Amino acid sequence: MENTPQKAQGQGRRKLIEFAMILPFGGAILVGLPLLWPAAGGASDRGVSTSSAMIYLFSAWFVMIVLASWLSWRLRRYQADD
Amino acid sequence: MTKHILLIEDEPNIIEAITFILLRKGIKVDAHSNGASALETVKSTNPDAVILDVMLPNRSGFDILQDIREDTDFAEIPVMMLTARGQTKDRERAMELGATAYMTKPFSNSDVIEAITALLEGA
Amino acid sequence: MFSTDILIGVSLIYVAFLFAVAFLAERANQRGRAKWLRSPLTYTLSLSVYCTAWTFYGAVGFAARSGLEFLTIYLGPTGVLIGWWWVLRRLVRIGRAERITSIADLISSRFGKSTSLGWIVTVLAVIGTTPYIALQLQSVTLSLAVFGQGDGAVNVNADATALWVAAGLAVFTIVFGTRNLDVNERHSGVVMAIAVEAVVKLLALLAVGVFVVWGLAGGIGPTLNLIDTSPIADWSVPTGRWIGLTFLSAAAFLCLPRMYQVLVVENSDERHLATAGWAFPFYLLLMSLFVVPIAVVGLKMMPAGANPDLFVLTLPLSAGQNELAVFAFLGGFSSATSMVIVAAIALSTMVSNHIVTPIWLRAAGEGATVSGDIRSVVILSRRLSIAAILGLGYVYYRLSGGGAALAAIGLISFAGVAQVLPVMLGGIFWRGATRIGAAAGLIAGFLVWAYTMFLPSVGTGMFLSDSILNNGLFGLHWLKPRALFGISDLDPVLHAVFWSLLINTLVFVIGSLLTNPTPLERMQAFQFITAFDSGASPRSWRSGAAESEDLLLMAQRILGATEAQKLFRRFAQDQGIEGYLPSPTPAFLDDLERALAGSVGSATAHAMVGQMVAGSAVTVEDLMAVADETAQIMEYSHQLETKSAELTSTATQLRDANEKLMQLSVQKDAFLSQISHELRTPMTSIRSFSEILQDKGLKAADRVKYATIISDETQRLTRLLDDLLDLSVLENGQVTLNIETGTLGQVLDQALAATDIKGQVTVLRPKSRESLSITTDLDRLAQVVINLITNAAKYCDAVKPQLKILARETDTGIEVDFIDNGSGVPRGKRDLIFEKFARISDEAKAGSAGLGLAICREIMTNLGGSIEYLPGQKGAAFRLRLPHQPTV
């Protein structure tokens, strides 16, 4: 393959941008997932507890933040190279 | 009969000097210092001769000379150009336009008297 | 225990501290050394105006009632920020490129700079925000009252407190929000204060959280146990509300006037968005981290019936942690005040740009753009608007009784401003959206929202009778406010949001499909949608019939003299023209309009430029290029435009250079004749009078008089030779400068002392800026000043001649303007006055050879500065520029 450095960089940047565009949808799925959990008083006798739901939601949230910050850092490096 | 001449010149000190030396020879001098209305003054004072500076505010001496010559009443009036511009082409231009005499500044007083006397006698 | 007096004292000290922060930040910004003011961190923190007292106190109450559902209010904005690449990036780019001043301006500008759309959005925003401001006032009074109760003393007068808070906020906002009519409409002082408040409220909530978890509950494990045994132990969030509220908070985050203000208007660098994209979600995460623990501990430890909305305060208080409670109070106070301040700024900008200024312009008639003082009208209207908005918030607070009805206001307000969302997204993504569709959609959505949500919330009997609420409008059951079309088992909030946004969007889309956009709309659509494609952008003006000088006069009235002159100078330089008057090309008119829009909004700016260049607005034919959207044509026309711009610029430069050359050759001849003339004239007098003096019979008086003339003329000759020598030394750059440091005031004093102009001209010197320190050849500078003053004395033809000397500091150095009140230099002669032997007027004035300004120019060049004729003033005006340090 003849990938010149510029080309590779252009591709890398495009991938990053695509990633940035997809990220919120990934987040939406993560945050929407608890909706599928059984609610209390449903078919199963005991639903998911608030404490575990809270731990899950905050972890998912935190993962999104880490991904977004990594993305912002990479994108800024590309911008600085321009 | 006293002769009188019109001096068109914007430097007050030069007006004073020429007025002084000509008056002692019995020649009366009217002075005018703006280029724009020079022709009107010529008409209103009807002098025996005109001394004309070149670098005047609003209208140059050459243009005024042309105005005077184009006016039928004054086509023959003696006009002496008195100017600080000493280049030959300026003298030639003045003569082409119909100047009677041409003198450069600075001048000697006796030259002025001599030239003016000649002009007035020629008229 | 301590009294509420101490608490009020602490609040006042805190407020004074905020004033100081805002003041220092603003001053640092003015001096241009405030890079840290515009850091991504400040930007991120300023976004925290999203977290109001409603979220600071109310989130705990929300969690105590409905468990984790409160997270939706934070998850919506998180989604918007993590997905910044989609919408926010576009909004910020458009906002900066088009100099958008508010959300109303955005909508107005996109749909053909429509005044009526700006008006609609403004009214909507005011109605949606007023209750929210009332809510903030309530939260401050409620939290104060909590301390009052513990005190056992007389209850704080809640109404009086609310009034004082409203008045104090109005003062702060007026002082820092409307100090000047900034071209970029940024308020560094306010933003800094908001950032500080953001830190305070975060730390306060974290401190309370840490105390509750480790101090009261006994650590993380016990806290989790406590959660699982609390009334909210089970995960039971209704799907509809989870999705609906997340969506609603995301929409509100984009549409709230205060959020648009901090997200777009106060944004100083697009790249900050990438940082805020993760940092602000992190801030939100920290803000909500301890909400559930505080809620469950409160539910367990506080007596039944205690208001969970105030757990943040009552928990520390009941545990005897007064300092912590005060800190928490300051956090809540920060949340409330920062929201109110930014909202008031945003709303006042909207009210003044979209309601007051258009009305004033219409009332003042045609000439207003040229003669009226627009700046002061705009600033005054902003100040009055701020006072009015806070007054309205206070009145609403009083009317609603400050009761529980307010608690529901948060979501109602969100739903109200979210009505802008369809039009906003349609505007930046859909080219076919039209003004009429947008107006219809907004009005429809607004009416449905008011009918299903806002009016019922005010309570029955006020606007809606019981019978309407229960039986529907006109007794039609399918028009029941809370069960439109018979859908009755939906959550009321969801019901209202669903129907209002659905009907809003439908009407907007259908309206847009049925109508055709005007040329200006098409063009704005093109600009907005292709915000990221650099390339051909159509112009909204054809070459104007306007004189640049008239445009400059107008711009000065709106932007202020300094900014306007800077702007015009830059445009002129881009066109390859020296001085301050670029030719009125379409590109220039577009850029100018955009700059004006930054101060008065796009619709007003468009109308003003329109008045100046009557009949030059773009037509459908001019827009054929826009309609034809193939990439090739765009690319081609872009290239052509670049080339033709280059050519125009080169041609202008060439023509200028050629003219200069021709003039130089003519001037060389003229110069020689002039020198000859100027030397011979005094010599003539000297020679003639010395001959006269040789005569014997002269009177003594005459003798003295003529000797004096000779002496005067000799001096004149010497002066002329001095000037010529001076000029020649300066022109060859051989001059030795004697660099010293002094103040501008000293130089002006020295110059005025050296001139004898008493009675000829009155010199006006506002001294405020004259203490500026300058390092240059002070004597040479004084020589220039003397020249300018004597010129004014000689040539100013006013009945009462006056000379104004104005100084100011710029980025690169100092500027001093000398402006007289005469009739000025005619346009055609302005290029010549700095040439040798050029006299401004035709009348020869005694002793002037016309070398003064030529020498001035050479001196200023040697000092590393410049002197220019300043157009656009009434009289003759000269501007000196000097660098801070002489360039050696």
Is residue C299 a contact partner of residue C308, using CB atoms and an 8 Å limit? yes
Q: Return the CATH number of the domain spanning residue range C4-361+381-513.
A: 1.20.1730.10
* Smallest Cα distance from A18 to chain C, Å: 10
Sign, CA dihedral C354-C347-C186-A82, equals negative
> Using one digit for the tens of pLDDT, what is the confidence trace for A32-46?
888 887 765 544 455
**CA nearest C702 in B: which residue?**
B20
Assign domain C658-731 to a CATH class. mainly alpha
- Residue in C81, C228, C242 nearest the CB of A50: C228
Residue A3 lies in a domain: no
**CA nearest C74 in A: which residue?**
A61
CA C371 to chain centre: 23
**Pairing assessment for the beta strands C866-869 and C802-809 based on DSSP bridges:** unpaired
Residue A68 lies in a domain: yes
What is the model's pLDDT at position A82? Answer: 42
Q: Tell me whether residue C102 is exposed, middle or buried, using C-beta atoms within 10 angstroms of its C-beta: 0 to 12, 13 to 18, 19 or more.
A: buried
Residue A11 lies in a domain: no
* Smallest Cα distance from A24 to chain C, Å: 5
Task: State the total domains in chain A.
Answer: 1
Sheet holding C866-869, edge to edge: C762-764, C802-809, C813-820, C877-883, C866-869
Task: State the total domains in chain B.
Answer: 1
Residue closest to C47 by CA, chosen among C327, C298, C279, C329:
C279
> Using one digit for the tens of pLDDT, what is the confidence trace for A49-62?
888 889 999 999 99
**pLDDT < 70 regions, chain B:** 1, 86, 123
Is residue C551 a contact partner of residue C584, using CB atoms and an 8 Å limit? yes
What is the model's pLDDT at position A4? Answer: 54
Chain A residues with beta carbon closer than 8 angstroms to that of C76 = none
Rounded to 5 degrees, what are φ and ψ at C655? -60, -45
Distance CA C54, CA C321 (A): 23
Residue A57 lies in a domain: yes
**Inter-helix orientation angle C357-364/C374-399, to 10°:** 130
Q: Which amino acid is at C258?
A: R
CB pairs under 8 A between B and C: 61
Residue closest to C216 by CA, chosen among C204, C206, C226:
C226
- Residue in C679, C688, C842 nearest the CB of B109: C688
The region that residue C320 occupies, defined by phi over 0 for left and psi between -120 and 50 for alpha, beta otherwise, is left
Distance CA B80, CA C508 (A): 89
CATH of C739-883, one of 1.10.300.10, 1.10.3720.10, 3.30.565.10, 2.120.10.60: 3.30.565.10
What is the model's pLDDT at position C257? Answer: 93
Q: How far is the first Cα of chain B from the last one, in angstroms, to the nearest whole number?
A: 14
Is residue C468 a contact partner of residue C398, using CB atoms and an 8 Å limit? no
Cβ–Cβ below 8 Å for C684 and B16: no
Which of A31, A56, A62, A66 to mutate: most C Cβ within 10 Å? A31
What is the model's pLDDT at position A1? Answer: 43
CA C692 to chain centre: 74
Q: Which amino acid is at C458?
A: V
Residue A81 lies in a domain: yes
Residue closest to C292 by CA, chosen among C53, C55, C57, C68:
C68
Residue closest to C323 by CA, chosen among C154, C181, C207, C158:
C207
- Number of neighbours of residue C277 by Cβ within 10 angstroms: 28
Sequence spans of domains, chain C: 4-361+381-513, 534-629, 658-731, 739-883
What is the model's pLDDT at position C659? Answer: 81
CATH of the domain at B53: 3.40.50.2300
Is residue C594 a contact partner of residue C100, using CB atoms and an 8 Å limit? no
Distance CA C855, CA C430 (A): 61
DSSP tally for chain C: helices H, then strands E: 37, 9
Does the complex come out with an ipTM higher than 0.85? yes
CA atoms within 13 A on the CB side of C104: 28
For residue B81, what are the domain limits? 4-122
Cβ–Cβ below 8 Å for C687 and B21: no
SS3 C618: coil
Which of A13, A61, A67 to mutate: most C Cβ within 10 Å? A61
For residue A74, what are the domain limits? 16-33+48-82
* Cα→Cα distances C861→A78, B33, C340, C722, C855, Å: 43, 38, 52, 19, 10
What is the model's pLDDT at position C391? Answer: 93
**Same fold yes or no, C4-361+381-513 and C739-883:** no
Which residues 70-99 of B have a C-beta within 8 angstroms of C? 84-87
Q: Which letter, b or e, does each residue of C352-376 get, where b requires 16 or more Cβ atoms within 10 Å of its Cβ?
A: bbbbbbbebbeeeeeebbeebebbe
Within C178-214, residue ranges assigned H as helices are 188-210
Q: Tell me whether residue C130 is exposed, middle or buried, using C-beta atoms within 10 angstroms of its C-beta: 0 to 12, 13 to 18, 19 or more.
A: buried
**Helix (H), strand (E) at residue C748:** helix C744-754
* Smallest Cα distance from C282 to chain A, Å: 6
Instruction: Please give the share of chain A, as a percent, with pLDDT higher than 70.
Output: 72
- Number of neighbours of residue C418 by Cβ within 10 angstroms: 27
Average pLDDT per block of 10 residues along chain C, 888 residues long: 73 88 83 73 92 88 88 93 89 86 90 89 91 87 76 57 84 78 68 92 94 89 87 81 92 93 88 91 94 91 84 89 90 91 90 86 62 73 91 85 62 90 92 92 93 75 61 62 66 87 94 86 80 58 64 75 81 78 78 79 76 58 44 57 76 81 74 78 88 84 88 86 83 81 87 79 79 86 88 83 86 86 78 69 52 86 87 84 76
* Chain A positions touching chain C (beta carbons under 8 Å): 17, 20-21, 23-24, 27-28, 31-32, 34-35, 37, 39-41, 47-54, 57-58, 61-62, 64-66, 68-69, 71-72, 75-76, 79
Residue A41 lies in a domain: no
Residue A74 lies in a domain: yes
